[in-house]
Amino acid sequence: MELPYMNPYLESVGSPNFQTGCNFATGGSTILPANAASTNPFSFNLQLSQFFRFKNRALTLLSKDKELQNYLPAEDDFNKALYMFDIGQNDLDGVFYFPASDEQRLYDAGARNFWVHNTGPLGCLPRIIATFGRKPSNLDEHGCVASHNRAATVFNKKLHDMCLQFLAQSPEANITFVDIYSIKLNLISNYSLYGFQQPLAACCGYGGPPLNFDTRIACGVTKNLNGSIVTANPCNNTAEYINWDGTHYTEAANRFVADEILTGNYSDSPHLRNSPLLT
Is residue 160 in some structural domain? yes
Domain encompassing residue 185: 7-190+251-278
Q: Which residues pair with 139 in a beta bridge?
A: 145
Is residue 79 in some structural domain? yes
Is residue 242 in some structural domain? no
What distances in angstroms separate CA 176 from CA 78, 114, 197, 266, one per listed residue? 17, 6, 32, 10
Is residue 245 in some structural domain? no
Is residue 232 in some structural domain? no
Is residue 121 in some structural domain? yes
Per the CB < 8 A criterion, the answer to whether 226 and 142 are in contact is: no
Q: What is the pLDDT of residues 147-162, one digit of tens each?
A: 999 999 998 998 898 8
Is residue 41 in some structural domain? yes
For position 131, what pLDDT does the model report? 93
- Which parts of the chain register pLDDT below 70? 1-2, 13-14, 28-40, 87-101, 269-279
CA 234-240-245 angle, to 5 degrees, is: 35
What is the Cα 25 distance to its own chain's centre?
A: 9
For position 177, what pLDDT does the model report? 92
Question: How far apart (Å, rounded) are the C-alpha atoms in residues 220 and 78?
Answer: 39
Question: How far apart (Å, rounded) are the C-alpha atoms in residues 215 and 134?
Answer: 13
CB neighbour class for 231 (10 Å; exposed up to 12, middle 13-18, buried from 19): exposed
DSSP string, 61-104: HHHH-GGGGGTS--HHHHHH-EEEE---GGGTTT-----HHHHH
Per DSSP bridges, beta strands 82-85 and 113-117 are parallel
Per the CB < 8 A criterion, the answer to whether 51 and 82 are in contact is: no
What distances in angstroms separate CA 25 from CA 8, 51, 73, 145, 277, one per listed residue? 8, 11, 18, 27, 29
For position 34, what pLDDT does the model report? 62
Question: How far apart (Å, rounded) are the C-alpha atoms in residues 170 and 265?
Answer: 25
Q: What is the pLDDT of residues 50-74, one digit of tens each?
A: 888 889 989 999 999 988 888 899 9
For position 3, what pLDDT does the model report? 73
Question: How far apart (Å, rounded) are the C-alpha atoms in residues 35 and 278?
Answer: 31
Is residue 198 in some structural domain? no
Cα Rg of the chain, angstroms? 20
Instruction: Show Cβ contacts of residue 212 under 8 Å, excluding neighbours closer than 6 positions.
Output: 126, 201, 202, 203, 205, 206, 235
For position 272, what pLDDT does the model report? 37
Count how many domains the chain has.
1
